[in-house]
Structures are given as C-alpha cells and as structure tokens.
Amino acid sequence: MIKSLKIRFILVVLFLVISVIYCMPNIIEPQGVWKKYFPSDKIHLGLDLKGGMHLLLELDTVKMMQNMVDRKFNAFKDAMIREGIRFMGLEKKENSLSVLIRAEQKEKLYNLVGKEFPDLKSGGTRTEGDNLHVEFLLLEREIANIKDNAVRQALETIRNRIDQFGVSEPVIVKQGENQILVQLPGIKDPQRALELIGRTAQLEFKLVDEENASRVTVGAIPEGSEILTMRTRNRETGIATTTSILLKKQTLLTGELLTDARVRIGGEFGNEPYVSIEFDSEGARIFDKITAENVGKRLAIILDNTVYSAPVVRERISGGKASITGGFTMDEAKDLSIVLRAGALPAPVKVVQNITIGPTLGQDSINRGIKATILGSILVIIFMVVYYRFSGIIANIALLLNLMYLLGAFSALKATMTLPGIAGIALTIGMGVDSNVLIFERIREELRLGKTVRAAVDSGYQKAWVAIFDSHITTLITACVLFMFGTGPIKGFAITLIIGMIINLFTAVFGSKTIFDWILIKYKPRRLSI
C-alpha cells in the first residue's frame, strides 16, 4: 500500500472529482462549455426502469410461402431435367405445383417425387389425350412447420441483430401466430433501430445486363432480366441518389453462405468505410467460379432488392473474400455488417405497432423503491454512527465515496442501469458496510489487547484485509462467469457487481484508511471513538 498520505488523499479526491464530472449530466442538463469539453451522457436506464420502444412486427408469411414455392418450383424443374423427364408445362400455384407430362413417364415422375421431394403429395391427375396433368400439393404439416420455423428463425435473427447493436436487456418474444414483440430500452435513435430490425437482409449477387442496357430506354425489358434501383452517394455532398440498373434475373450467389462481415476503412477513396465479407468454403468456391467466368463484366451486389454497388470484375477472386462499397457512412456500414452477420430474415417483416411505453414495473413501484432505498440507507448510516460513533462517520464517508464512484463508473462505461443492476449495487453497498464492520471489529479486538490507537488501527486493517480480499475475489469470480454466460438481466447484475467489487476494495480499505491515517497523524488521539 502507498505510504504517503498526501498521494493517497490526492488519489481519493481525484477519483471523486472524475466521478462527479461523469455524474453531472444526470443532475443538470449539460450546456455550453460543459457540453463541449466534458461528458454529457446520462446513465442509461433499462426497460424495467424507464420503459422504451415497443415494436410489434409481423412476418409476411404469404410472401415467404411464395418464395418457398418458387424455390421448390426451380428445384423440381432442375430435378426433372436431370432425370430426363420431359414435360410440356410446369405451373406453380399458391401451395401446389402442376406439371404436364407424357402418360408413360408417370411412374418415373412419381419415383422422383417419392425420392427427392418427401414434402409433396400427389393431388390427383387429369388425362389430356396422351398427356397427363399431375398436381402435387405441399403437405399441410410441412406448411405449418415452415411457418413455425420461420417465426423462430426471425426471432433468433432479430435477437442477434439487437445484441450486436448493443441494446442491453431487450425483450424479444413471439406473439400470436406470426408476430414478434420487441421492446428496446433507452434507444436514442429509434429510426435506426427500426431499420436495423426490419431489414430483411437478403444479400444477392447478380450480373449486370450490359448488352441489353440500351434497349431499356425504349421500354422493353428483355426476357430473363429485371430492373432494380441502384443507390449511390455523392462523396462530396453525402447525398444519396437512386438510379435504375438492368440486371440478369438469375441469382449467382446469396448471403446464406456468408461466415463473416466486418466494417473496414480505406479502399480506393482513402478513408471510406466499407463492409468486407467472407464466405464459407462452398461460398468461396462458387464466388471463385463466378469471378473466373465473368472477368470484365459488372457484378452487382444487391441487398433487399437495392443495388449497392456493381463493380467490374477485374480478375478471378479466390479465397472467399469480397467487399461491399457504396459510399456508406460509418453507421450505415456498421448496421450493414450487423445484418449480414446476423443472417437474413426468412421473410420481410412489417411494423404493426411502434409506441413508447412506461417501465415494466410501473412508475409507482419505482418511486416507492427509490423512497425505500433512501430510507434504508439513512437507517444504515444512523446505525453505523450510533454503534461506532466517530469511526462510523468515517465508514459512512467511505460508503458515500463508494456510491459516487459507482455512479461515475456507470456513466463513464455507458452501462445500462436495470433493477437487477440495482440489486447488484445493493449487494456492493452491503459488502462495503461489511468491510468496514470487519475492520472496526478487528480494531476493537486489537484495542482490547491494549495496543495503542495507531497500532490497533494498522493491524486491524491489515488483519481484516485478508478476509475482505478473499470475499471480494470469490464474488468477483461469480460475477465474471455470470457476465460471460449470462444474458439480459443477469448480465446487468454481473456488470454492477464487477464494478462494485473493484470500487469497494478501493473505498472500504484504501479510502477509509486514508481518512483514519489523516486523523491519526494530525490529531494524534489517545483514545479512538469506535
């Protein structure tokens, strides 16, 4: 321990000043000079204490089923071609596919369906001369399954996105058949959160149809091509504009095979944020093939049907790495990387309800809780003074220091205060009181042995220190494990406890000893009021 009283005193006061500076925005609205040079963030309050954004999202399952039937349709077509089944017509309906084949190929077709499409069942046949109309229905059990899975996948994806966005203590639950309820505490930028959550995040790579680009102006879109909007941002002005671009309809690669997406800064325009993506081995193989076959052509990178960039493929790219540029701002690039990492939603979502709600516990409970906490603290403070007299005052000063440091640390770390967090603070304060009780009881024992005040205080602190240290470290171990594995409220509890234990070790031992030493050196008392 540091011997010099002056240095110790300066340390204690320095931390206090820093804490007060960080706490100030909670008391008065920062203005002018303060806002410019000092921290101006308030302590964030969790949903249970403050309320927050309440979003009700609805998964577009109709659109999802359409996509699903689309995919089945393509797979079915490919399988028939591969198996050499000739078909005159193939049609898709809402929940079924119908195919027109020659009657003698019926058995071959049924074999194929039985082998490769177990989720389809025959929905009847109709003869048309030599030909046969066969209808296949999607099993109802399968449809229900798909819908159920979709909601669950959407829930997981949204949870991932919110976790990475950094909102603590979100509530994300399934509501009704295909709705998802999301509650976000203390969101500063609701619009951005909304966009992040609601974005489908379908990443696709398609080729630009350059041969036919000129024909579009006439109004005719060639078969197998489509027009999408392309977003570009002016690098000087920062204004985003949209243009149209003609693309080949076929999707060469999707975001499903992505393993990672990160924000990087640099590239050909200096310090511009862009998103670098990485594919898994299969994705890398496909990307390698695409780039090898299309050197010199433009490859469009599409997210949710908007083209973000369409760079010319200069050379074959192996290794499975690519980047998405598009004149993003830092926030845009960050959000884009989050949605890419968290995966795509199985279907688009629609925001049904977007309101701001009050705290989970109700404002009345919180007000009563605050009143009770203040009353309880006063009782403890009085008790300490009654029982330990003058030394009790020192313990109370240490306690107040503890509280100030905690609030300061909370503000500085931008942690979110929740009810479990407050429970953590309560435990910290409790341990703070306990540390001082341990020390004081030791000092009393030493005094009983007939030691001088100075010696009793020194050895009291020294002996109590071991017990205090051990009990704090065991609590710290638990808190760290809870922090690593816990989510939501448990994590909030763990954070307060970790910060609290460290601060407590400082204030209860270092802080109160400094005050003791100062009094002992300055006044050299014969007796100690303890």
Partner 1 sequence: MMELLKDTNIDFIGFRKKAFILSAILVAIGFYALIMISLGKANISVDFTGGTNIQIRFKENVDIGELRKAFTDGGISDVQIQEISGTKDFFIKTKFSDTDKEKIQDKVASILSGKYKDKKFEILGSNMVGAGVGKGLKKYAIIAVGLALVGIIIYVAWRFTFISGIAATIATFHDVVAILGVFYILDKELNLLIITALLTIAGYSLQDTVVVYDRIRENMAKMKSKDDFGVVINRSINEVLSRTIITGLSTLFALGALMVVGGEVLFDFSFALFIGLIVGTYSSIFVASPIVYVWRRKFR
Among 115, 481, 521, 525, binds partner 1 (CB under 8 A): 481
Query: In the complex with partner 1, which residue's Cβ is closer, 321 or 368?
Result: 368
Q: Considering only residues 436-475, where is the footprint of partner 1 by CB under 8 A?
A: 437-438, 441, 444-445, 463, 466-467, 470-471, 473-475
Crossing angle for the helix pair 140-165 and 61-83, to the nearest 10 degrees: 120
Among 277, 482, 503, 509, binds partner 1 (CB under 8 A): 482
- Collect all residues with Cβ–Cβ distance below 8 Å to 164 and sequence separation of at least 6: 338, 341, 342
- Collect all residues with Cβ–Cβ distance below 8 Å to 141 and sequence separation of at least 6: none
For residue 193, the minimal CB distance to partner 1 (Å) is: 17
Binding to partner 1 by CB under 8 A, coded x per residue (else -) over 492-511, reads -x---x--------------
Confirm or reject binding of residue 490 to partner 1 (CB under 8 A): yes
For residue 493, the minimal CB distance to partner 1 (Å) is: 5
Among 16, 90, 361, 400, binds partner 1 (CB under 8 A): 361
Q: Considering only residues 77-116, where is the footprint of partner 1 by CB under 8 A?
A: none
Cα angle for residues 77, 78, 82 (degrees, 5° grid): 120
Confirm or reject binding of residue 389 to partner 1 (CB under 8 A): yes
Q: What is the DSSP string of 351-370?
A: EEEEEEE--TT-HHHHHHHH
For tokens 């017990």, the residue is 467
| 335 vs 263: CA distance, rounded Å | 9
Nearest partner of 509 among 452, 444, 438, 415, judged by Cα:
438
For tokens 């109700």, the residue is 362
Confirm or reject binding of residue 359 to partner 1 (CB under 8 A): yes
| 381 vs 375: CA distance, rounded Å | 10
Q: Considering only residues 132-161, where is the footprint of partner 1 by CB under 8 A?
A: 159
Q: Considering only residues 160-189, where is the footprint of partner 1 by CB under 8 A?
A: 171, 173-176, 179, 181
> Which range binds partner 1 by CB under 8 A, 4-12, 402-410, 419-427, 517-525?
419-427
Type of residue at 152: R
Type of residue at 489: P
Q: Considering only residues 326-355, where is the footprint of partner 1 by CB under 8 A?
A: 355
Total interface residues for partner 1 by CB under 8 A? 77
Query: In the complex with partner 1, which residue's Cβ is closer, 172 or 324?
Result: 172
Would you call 168 helix, strand, or coil by DSSP? coil
Confirm or reject binding of residue 478 to partner 1 (CB under 8 A): yes
Binding to partner 1 by CB under 8 A, coded x per residue (else -) over 48-67, reads ---x--x-------------
For the beta carbon of residue 501, count every other beta carbon within 10 angstroms.
Answer: 24
> Which range binds partner 1 by CB under 8 A, 28-36, 372-380, 407-415, 510-518?
372-380
Among 58, 489, 507, 511, binds partner 1 (CB under 8 A): 489
Residue 46 near residue 415 (C-beta atoms within 8 A): no
Query: In the complex with partner 1, which residue's Cβ is closer, 109 or 482?
Result: 482
Confirm or reject binding of residue 46 to partner 1 (CB under 8 A): no
Query: In the complex with partner 1, which residue's Cβ is closer, 118 or 376?
Result: 376
CA distances, 106 to each of 99, 112, 120, 139 (Å): 11, 10, 15, 20
